[in-house]
Amino acid sequence: MQRTWMALLVLVSACGDGSSVAADADIGVPEFRIENVDDSGFVHGVTFRCLDLVADTPQSFVSDGPHQHTLRLEVAQMQSILAGELVELIFTDGHEHSFPIQKPEDACVGLGDAG
């Protein structure tokens, strides 16, 4: 976890615009939750923590809901999410789900490399 936090600090400073906001208060909402959007009849929520999304290795996120699904995100996908892009995960693990993942604007602020 310490290593992840260090990487975060580097990203923040690389994106800096000269303002003197404290690094540990600069990312806005530290996590966000998305739900699947599909016709499966099941509702799953997945919570994405900003500090997990800045990892430099693929990460797995486990959904809640009537049963569990594991969503695996590649590094490039996590970086797209942090940049505010929409990343849609579709999988057919017994039944099909579609997870349109897009962070709220006030979450994980400054962690993408768009700036």
Which residues bind to Zn ion, rule: CB under 5 A?
A: 42
- The CB-of-62 to Zn ion minimum distance in angstroms stands at 12
- The CB-of-38 to Zn ion minimum distance in angstroms stands at 9
Distance CA 91, CA 24 (A): 35
Q: Which is nearer to Zn ion, 96 or 105 (CB)?
A: 96
3-class DSSP string for 10-34: HHHHHCCCCCCCCHHHCCCECEEEE
- The CB-of-59 to Zn ion minimum distance in angstroms stands at 20
Q: Which residue is nearest to Zn ion (CB)?
A: 42
Q: Please say whether the beta carbons of 23 and 6 come within 8 A.
A: no
- The CB-of-67 to Zn ion minimum distance in angstroms stands at 6
Beta carbons within 8 Å of 71's beta carbon, 6+ residues apart? 46, 60, 61, 62, 63, 89, 91, 99
- Which amino acid is present at 81? I
